[in-house]
Amino acid sequence: MLSLPFDPLQRTKAVEELVMEGLSRKYYRFRPARYYGGIATADLVGCPFLCAYCWNYARNLHPELSRDRYYSPDEVAKRLLAIMKRERFNKVRLSGAEPILGEQSFEHLHKVLEGIYKANPVCDFILETNGLLIGYEPELVHRLSQFERLAVRVSLKGFDEGSFESISGSNGKYFNLPIKGLKNLIRSGINGWPAIMYETFGPEGIGKINKTLMEYGIRPEELEIEYLEPYPFVLENLKKRSISLRTQ
């Protein structure tokens, strides 16, 4: 039984062991998606966080229970390239969980990127991450900088230690790591930007995170604001953690 708050660096190791087999990783879906004007999407299993609003909550709570299969980097790249070709998209992403859990999952991701760019050097790969590992291990960011058309969206879970802890389930002392990860990306010349969920920040939280971003040398106008999908289980999880939503 997972008790909150947990240490996300410990949890990421445990989760990586559950969702990786050699360089193959568990995925549960490959699909075309409407976001970013149309994008080929591979949905992963496994995340060190357990956000109250995660739409993939059950799988990320118990990745060991999912019956999804493991895919090699080559299989993932081929499936995504096939969706791009069929749908006439030029964008591709990984979603549903965290792509970077540690060294093994990073190697998997790196090989997926190599496979995609070998076949289609001009597509845009959007990496959606919670930023934890790229803040903890800057060397990973350096290795991503070889992919010129890679863009990285870092989803920030809170505007201070308390809000980070209640949303992500992780100990609040790790609040700064995703922001450091974003700074590492920008320093390495990678197109990276922060994203937040409006209803859990509100205007006051947005003001606070903008101030923190500026302290890290990140321009606040880069902040992407997304809005909550109010699935019943999401509202229930938010209620269990006593998180109130801002609507204005």
51 near ligand SF4 (CB under 6 A): yes
41 near ligand SF4 (CB under 6 A): no
Q: Which string of DSSP letters, residue by residue, matches 79-94?
A: HHHHHHHHHT--EEEE
What is the nearest approach in angstroms of ligand SF4 to the Cβ of residue 54?
A: 3
Q: Which of 26, 42, 49, 117 binds ligand SF4 (CB under 6 A)?
A: 49
Stretch that binds ligand SF4, among 6-14, 24-32, 44-52, 71-79 (CB under 6 A): 44-52
Site string for ligand SF4, 85-104 (x = CB under 6 A): ------------xx------
Q: How many residues does the chain have?
A: 248
140-169 positions binding ligand SF4, by CB under 6 A = none
Of the pair 118, 239, the CB lying nearest ligand SF4 is at 239
Site string for ligand SF4, 101-130 (x = CB under 6 A): -----------------------------x
142/144 Cα distance (integer angstroms): 5
What is the nearest approach in angstroms of ligand SF4 to the Cβ of residue 136?
A: 15
Tokens of 193: 């930007």
158/143 Cα distance (integer angstroms): 27
Q: Which of 39, 45, 50, 190 binds ligand SF4 (CB under 6 A)?
A: 50
67/231 Cα distance (integer angstroms): 23
The letter for the amino acid at 29 is: R
What is the nearest approach in angstroms of ligand SF4 to the Cβ of residue 130?
A: 4
| Helix residue ranges per DSSP H, the chain | 8-19, 57-61, 73-87, 103-119, 132-136, 138-144, 161-168, 177-187, 198-215, 232-240
Of the pair 157, 183, the CB lying nearest ligand SF4 is at 157
Beta bridge partners of 235: none
Tokens of 74: 């080559």
Query: Which of 49, 92, 44, 82 is CA-nearest to residue 66?
Result: 44
Q: Which stretches of the chain bind ligand SF4, using CB under 6 A?
A: 47, 49-51, 54, 56, 60, 97-98, 130
